[in-house]
Amino acid sequence: MSAAIAPSVPVGGAATAVRLIWRLSVRGMLRIARRPSLIIPTLIMPVFLLVSFSGSFSGLGGLQGYGTDNVYNWMTAYAVLQGVSFAGVGAAGMTAEDMENGFYDRLLLVPGGRLPLLLGPIGYSLLRSLIPTTMVLLVAYTLGSADVAGGVAGVAMVYLGAFGVATAFACLGLFAVFILKSMRALLAIQVPIFMITFLSIGQVPLSFQTGWLHAVSRINPITPVLTMMRQGFLGPVTWADSWPGLVALLALVGFFGIGAWVMLRRMAP
């Protein structure tokens, strides 16, 4: 990694940096506790998508090649992904709000380097992603009788994918915020996030898709991520279905993370 983008945290300020990361993460959770309107969409939207899509696509369970006769086994991972997308956007929203009210100028002067200002909101997005992920799993299991054939490993894949997607979209959101320095950045990232999640295997398998949609879904990095996340619902967890998703997550986090870090480093104190 070049010196231009390498994180720089003074050795003596490492403890300060860790405290700042933790406090920014917790501060974000306290923010949604005090303002329930911030968390309601994170809870309602993924559950709504799970129930509505499962009802709309229920007939697909009887088709050969769909992979399961219970559509909830297919839709749960997609609903989780939609929920954690809001968690990533929430990290960007918290930072943009701090910039608009002037608080971020004070954060830029805090000892410990600038890396905590990137990792703190990401930590908040990870904590926040626990809420919709757990909620969707509970609804899928109780309402839709989802069958986690992969056991604990299958559930772990769901949370691993959720954390990775929340981190990637948080980095994307922060990248936009560090450029626009206002809440307008949220509008700039919502369409790309919607497109990258929708044009995948969220609703139907790749083999059911045709034309340009098949071509786009095939190269979409979210496709292997969803395969990794839902494998425990369709059968046992295997390395063959796991490593492409892990590589895709690392690529997304690395690409968006480096972009966000470069923009943060360019900001004047």
Spell out the per-residue pLDDT of the chain, length 269, in tens. 433 333 444 444 678 788 889 999 999 999 888 887 777 777 788 888 888 877 767 666 667 777 788 888 999 999 999 999 988 888 999 999 999 999 998 888 877 778 999 999 999 999 999 999 999 999 998 887 888 889 999 999 999 999 999 999 999 999 999 999 989 988 889 888 989 999 999 888 998 999 999 999 999 999 999 999 999 999 899 999 999 999 999 999 999 999 999 999 998 66
Question: N- to C-terminal Cα distance for the chain?
Answer: 24
- What's the confidence (pLDDT) of residue 86? 85
| Cα four-point dihedral sign 251, 253, 254, 256 | positive
Please give the model's pTM, rounded to 2 decimal places.
Answer: 0.90
Q: For the purposes of burial, counting CB atoms within 10 Å of the CB of 103, is it exposed (0-12), middle (13-18) or buried (19 or more)?
A: exposed
- The label of the residue with tokens 């979409």 reads 220
- What's the confidence (pLDDT) of residue 64? 74
Tokens of 73: 């086994």
Tokens of 249: 């997550």
- What's the confidence (pLDDT) of residue 68? 82
